[in-house]
């Protein structure tokens, strides 16, 4: 039967520094790389053998995918990298320290920016050092100035339906290595979480989340692989 494994990238350098990251491209830390490797070893130990992988075009997710696959002895697997799985764009918050931002704007406002359904962070200023509009990986793509979770869902779900669902319909085991909020977008859909309840969903780094799906792709209860 089809199986979908979701993993948020291992700890990134800006996770360690507690900075808003979004589309900015940062690497995993040594700890994050170890998390990714351990996730691969866990999947192997539990007998999970992905047939195909999908990830974003951001280094932290790509490296997590590669390290996990290498730990499983499956680095040969076909992996698709696509911007539609990128982290939510954090707009004008990109690069800022999360604690300093909370001190300036208040915890409640930062919680709204980080976890609400449809309130985006302030837009990135044109000419900002975090402007990615000239990054070659986004050639021909309208890089957003900011994204709410609703905006992120609007790009993640169509990609899931067009690229990932066909593999699941073929009965494959699919591994997705992505980001906290692009995965919150997917989990909201798969687990039928309301716009109000999604504010409470957190996704930890490097912990494989499993959906066993029926032949018609109805998802079962999601679970952490480490808990089964
Ligand atoms: O983009 C980021 O800053 C992190 O990857 C996710 O941040 P958040 O947990 O504050 O949404």
Ligand 1 atom at minimum distance from 24 CA: 1
Does 3.40.50.1240 match the CATH number of domain 3-227?
A: yes
The pLDDT assigned to 31 comes to: 98
Q: Are 163 and 69 in contact (CB under 8 A)?
A: no
Residues 188-194, mean pLDDT to the nearest whole number: 97
Phi-psi group of 127: left, alpha or beta (phi > 0 → left; psi -120 to 50 → alpha; rest → beta): left
Q: Ligand 1 atom 8: the closest Cα is on which residue?
A: 114
Per-residue pLDDT of 35-62, as tens digits, reads: 999 999 999 999 999 999 999 999 999 9
Known binding residue 24? Answer is no
Q: Catalytic annotation on 87?
A: yes
Query: φ, ψ for residue 187 (rounded to 5)?
Result: -65, -35
Q: How confident is the model over 24-42, as pLDDT tens digits?
A: 999 999 999 999 999 999 9
Instruction: Give, for ligand 1, the residue of 21, 113, 147 to mutate: max count of ligand atoms closer than 8 Å to Cβ.
Output: 21
Cβ of 114 closer than 6 Å to ligand 1, yes or no, is yes
35 a catalytic residue: no
Annotated ligand binding at 19? The verdict is no
Q: Span 179-207, mean pLDDT?
A: 97
ipTM confidence score: 0.90
Ligand 1: does its nearest atom lie under 6 Å from the Cβ of 90?
Answer: yes
- The CB of 130 under 6 Å from ligand 1? The reply is no
Q: What is the pLDDT of residues 78-135, one digit of tens each?
A: 999 999 999 999 999 999 999 999 999 999 999 999 999 999 999 999 889 999 999 9
State residue 191's pLDDT score.
97
What is the band of 182 on the pLDDT scale with cuts at 50, 70, 90?
very high
Give CA–CA dist 204/32, Å, rounded. 11
């Amino acid at each position: 039967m089809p199986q979908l494994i979701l993993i948020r990238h291992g700890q990134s350098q800006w996770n360690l520094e507690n900075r808003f990251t979004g589309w900015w491209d940062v690497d995993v830390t040594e700890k994050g790389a170890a998390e990714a490797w351990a996730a691969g070893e866990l999947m192997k130990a539990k007998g999970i053998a992905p047939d195909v992988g999908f990830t974003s075009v951001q280094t932290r997710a790509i490296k997590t995918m590669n390290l996990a696959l290498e730990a499983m002895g499956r680095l040969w697997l076909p992996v698709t990298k696509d911007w539609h799985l990128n982290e939510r764009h954090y707009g004008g918050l990109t690069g800022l320290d999360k604690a300093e931002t909370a001190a300036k704007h208040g915890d409640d406002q930062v919680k709204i920016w980080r976890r609400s359904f449809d309130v985006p962070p302030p837009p990135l200023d044109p000419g900002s050092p975090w402007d990615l509009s000239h990054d070659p990986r986004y050639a021909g793509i309208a890089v957003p100035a900011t994204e709410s979770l609703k905006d992120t869902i609007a790009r993640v779900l169509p990609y899931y339906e067009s690229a990932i669902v066909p593999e699941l319909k073929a009965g494959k085991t699919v591994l997705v290595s992505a980001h906290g909020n692009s995965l919150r977008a997917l989990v909201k859909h798969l687990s039928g979480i309301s716009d109000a309840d999604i504010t409470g969903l957190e996704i930890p780094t490097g912990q494989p989340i499993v959906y066993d799906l029926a032949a018609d792709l109805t998802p079962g209860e999601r679970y952490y692989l480490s808990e089964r």
